[in-house]
Amino acid sequence: MNKPFVVVGGDAAGLSAASKARREDPEREVIVYERGEWISYAHCGMPYYIKGEVDSIGDLLSLSPEAVRERGIDLRRNHEVVSVDPDRQIVGVRGPDGESEQAYGDLLVATGARARTASIDGTERDGVFTLHHMSAAAAIRALLAPPGEADASAFDGSYVDVDVSEYLARTPPETVAIVGGGYVGIEMAEAFREWGLETHLYQRSSLPVPPFGEAVGDRVVEVLRDRGVHVHLETTVETLDGTDRVRRVETADGSLPVDLVLVGIGIRPNVEVLSGTGVELGTSGAVAIDKYGRTNLENVYAAGDCAEKEHVVTGDPEWVPLGLTANRAGRAIGQSVADDPEPVGKIAGTAVLKAFELECGRTGIVGEDRARAAGFDPVSETITAGSRSGYYPGNAETTVTLVGDRETGRLLGGTVTGEDRAAIRINQLATALENEMTVTGFERLDLAYAPPFSPVWDPTLVAAKVLGGQLESTGD
């Protein structure tokens, strides 16, 4: 009989693996350790819960502990795996009743990532939040919603480990600062404006959402400002000042009085549980894996936000912590440990973002510098075209940037942004990248045309035509 399949972390990757392993091999014991209370919750939904578009915090849960147990998984919440001994194939666990050891046949480390805050002084002050846990979402929503509109479900102690009623009793904030113009920052700007707050967004670099490149960044700034967000670019927040409670944001340029601060300056992988094991980490600091999700330690896998993955364009390992690829890797590993090896798949870094009414998508390599660093000789073009036939109501300007390689003609990546079905169009580019298509090959795709949905030439085809012409005229 196989020793148990032990999973560290009860979120996307961990529970996908556990569920798949049980389905494939119903006889095998599967144990999932989760150090917190929460399992399987929708990180990406938190801004919309705070905004009030999602009614109840419970809606963000995709799987209840009961549902997990019904799958035959031995789920142990509030149990933290504190050490891994790869020689003895044993993990050390700290739970409510003390420390213990657990032997494993296969081990999956799916410990996720955590919010970075280290570069800023004063993040420990009351009123400063990161958005990496449900408790923060519950607290912020309680602060913002008028008493009559509070989410009663968040008072239930089983949901969050903060005293929500304490937040409800406070004076609602009037001015908020967001530190960081990444996904969380942009989405939270929309949520704060929904509640009518004076909202300041600080971004260290010259544009928000750098992975989306310049064309998207420009349009995001435009829409944020249109919607009344004060956008401070090239402005580094040094200190969150105050007493116990945060009162001021300090930058080199000056000081802003605030009632609440949201810090979203990125995340870092949780790899500490593997320290001392000799595990190999990648240059990103996340765990290095092979095509089946295996680390260099025997029978130890890693998946989700704590692991790297092979990039479809560069072929190199990269760290792109996102939801779909975490789920997929978990599922594949669950199948592999049942002796039916399944690759975890590659990443293209496909991501989509809503900034108020603006939809943004990106995939592959965006930006010529990035492409050069990966050894390509890049050419890029940005075009703006209609999302529908010009005469059809709702036609919206859609901006597409494509990056190609001069030497091979290969499509390396791109972005799409606009207000009408722009984000989902990134999928046709992501599919092309997976197949290593050339720009010219992409240009010949038979894509959809009908006046309500697309002009004769989809905006991505228009961009491919322009970039294709450019590659031809500059190539040899």
Nearer to its own copies, 19 or 117 (CB): 19
Residues 203-262 that bind its own copies (CB under 8 A): none
Residue 169 or 450 having the CB closest to its own copies: 450
Say whether residue 341 binds its own copies (CB under 8 A).
no
Catalytic residue (choose from 44, 82, 169, 456): 44
Burial of 291 (0-12, 13-18, 19+ CB in 10 A): middle
If you search the block for the tokens 């989306």, which residue do you land on?
A: 212
Interface residue with its own copies, options 11, 194, 381, 458 (CB under 8 A): 458
Judged by beta carbon, residue 233 or residue 445, the one nearer its own copies is 445
The answer to whether residue 44 is catalytic is yes
Site string for its own copies, 48-87 (x = CB under 8 A): x----xx----xx-x-------------------------
Structure tokens at 376: 């390509």
- CA proximity to 468, closest of 416, 426, 409: 409
Q: State the DSSP string of 76-120.
A: EET-EEEEEETTTTEEEEEETTEEEEEE-SEEEE---EEE--TTS
Count the neighbouring beta carbons within 10 Å of the beta carbon of residue 372. 12
Least distance in angstroms from the C-beta of 233 to its own copies: 24
Q: How far apart are CA 183 and CA 391, in angstroms?
A: 34
Residue 391 near its own copies by CB under 8 A: yes
Judged by phi (left if over 0) then psi (alpha if -120 to 50, else beta), residue 87 lies in alpha
For the bound state, the minimum distance from the C-beta of residue 432 to its own copies, rounded and expressed in Å, comes to 6
Among 95, 211, 266, 343, contact with its own copies (rule: CB under 8 A): 343
User: CB under 8 A: which stretch of 110-118, 233-241, 275-283, 359-367 binds its own copies?
Assistant: 359-367
Separation CA 53–CA 460 (nearest Å) = 31
* Side-chain half-sphere exposure of 237, counting CA atoms within 13 A: 29
From residue 410 to residue 449, what is the string marking binding to its own copies with x (rule CB under 8 A)? -----------x-xxxxxx-xxx-xx-x---xx-xxxxxx
* Binding-residue pattern over the window 287 to 326 for its own copies, x denoting contact by CB under 8 A: -------------------------x---------xxxx-
298 in Cβ contact with 86 (< 8 Å): yes
> Smallest distance, Å, CB 215 to its own copies?
18
Question: Considering all CA atoms of the chain, what is the largest pairwise distance in Å, rounded to the nearest integer?
Answer: 70
Q: Rule CB under 8 A: is residue 450 a binding residue for its own copies?
A: yes
Residue of 37, 42, 155, 396 that binds its own copies (CB under 8 A): 42
Q: How many residues bind its own copies (CB under 8 A)?
A: 66
DSSP state of 245: B
The Cα 295–Cα 76 span in angstroms is 24
Q: Is residue 176 classed as helix, strand or coil in its secondary structure?
A: strand
Tokens read off for 362: 């990106």
The residues binding its own copies (CB under 8 A) are 12, 42, 44-45, 48, 53-54, 59-60, 62, 312, 322-325, 327-328, 343, 345-354, 359, 361, 363, 389-393, 421, 423-428, 430-432, 434-435, 437, 441-442, 444-454, 456-458, 461
Residues forming the active site: 44
